[in-house]
Structure 1
Amino acid sequence: AAFADLVSSSGWTSARSFTFRMLADGVTYHYRVKARDGFEHESGWSASVRSTQDDSAPVALFDPLPAVVSGPVLEITGTATDAGSGVASV
């Protein structure tokens, strides 16, 4: 099936990869490929795959620190959220 909106095309390339640039944050893009041999015989389109771009940083919120800490240990607590791919570590 045809794609409704063509965002980018690599054209024919001998490279095994292609980097798409300027993809919008939070948008789901669908991809598919074709192959062509030295005699210009083309394959059909591959199955479509998709990815959603996550170009937004997570939001980290930390509780206020005490003005004075007695002792050698300071405990910091907080939370982090990310609407796209999630939070890997804090």
Structure 2
Amino acid sequence: MKYRNASEILPDKLLQEIQKYTSGEAIYIPQVTEKQKWGECSGARRYYKERNEQICEKYRAGVPMEELALTFNLSLESIRKIIYHK
């Protein structure tokens, strides 16, 4: 991380406002990034999407909902929501 003098970067009014809260200390200003949706970093979002697609495919192939609930260790109501959501 490269340190830069705030007086070289920030407008005077902003610098004075920051100095009210901290003066002579090093502060970290994080980068502006877009907030990621739930599960995108960990891969959970992709995992559940693929699992739900498998459930729908098996249901279309004729596997009963009760069997899908046992196979995927989900409640019958959860299986219904997944199937009828698509």
TM-score between both structures, scaled by the size of structure 1: 0.30
Greater C-alpha Rg: 2
More strand by share: 1
TM-score between both structures, scaled by the size of structure 2: 0.31
